[in-house]
Chain A
């Protein structure tokens, strides 16, 4: 009996498209650099960052996190359903879309609040980086909305099957990448150093 890794893992295959994995690698690289930049600048200017963070609401950050993670869970459940050849995929995707819309609504209200306080992108280094990081992530969420909506329509038309769901997997991968980045952003931007 062979003990090579390939033999130990039956039906070993890459979920989704290779191009999506390459894209995710590039995205993760970009966000890693931004997160590092944020962390290093915080180290250099701790007082400025503590003051900036006062203007942010950590419970808002938690609500944003929960809405986005719920959406991610629903998309993952949709992929599982397709793989098990069960119905209700498009309903799950629509629910995921709804949860993501909650995130967008919450984030827009946070942005409006900060702008009303005059804390725009040119206010200070903390807010330059805040807008840059969360703004770029927000654009990815918006793209995610389009992707999930498109996948929901395709699922409604019966476009995905147990053996043929690479497109759905690629979309889910993208959405998990957006989740992952936010899970790193939430503590970094809202929490670290906020305690007494």
Chain B
């Protein structure tokens, strides 16, 4: 056992718990370039994507841009309970670490995920012709585009131009990384057995962390440096919508399989090697009502929570897992999620830990 704090209440972690804590770092994690996007990591693409991200001319109405919902001042989300499809707008911070995109994983690449809101009538409503025309008439955009993809001649297919623009947007978003947090300092100190640095991490957060990697089993789904396994789960939240129910991952997979923009399609770079997960993913009845396991990094700046934004505060999220209605979970389905039945003190500690997953700027404003 390792004493992890010099505070009044010394927290001890078992070797298993220590290993789990260390698995949540180091941070920032290395971004592996997306082989389905040949301009991922290219500085020109990143800069072009950065400009376009806030460019209202991308929308049919010239009134909206990606930043309208993914506001850079709000951790690249909008703070609203739910918008399109009655879902909460997810943050784009650390989006480059993901495998599936959106609450339902309807897309398998960041560029395809960027394409969807560009074309959606309820969002930017941009046609391929609209995007291509903008590119051809704006000299600055055209120069950067040509450097990346070759000249956008009059003969070039508008659809291809649209996809390429989405790839630059993806290249930019892949650079959005959440800052280091008090937890990261603690984790690295633990790795180095640095007692003085370990002691700087509040004991309440340490106790909450112990629940997280211990009895709470939270780490099982919220795993790795990004605190997500990148997959989908039913955690007992209602998912009715005004017109029925949100199919979640079930509907996402239907969209993925039929999309011409998935990694198996003609627009993906990198060939079959980049499409292994897409080729083998299967659709199962249990997927109905499952939603993406979100990252827990930057939580203080990304309220509200859950797929529909139905939890206003981190405390509300903890309360859900403490009292989750187990009768909503299939007896042989989601075995990990069970009511934690936390005492008020334990709930406060778990909340303190979750808040410690945010960087200094978020913490100052809360």
The answer to whether A and B belong to the same complex is: no
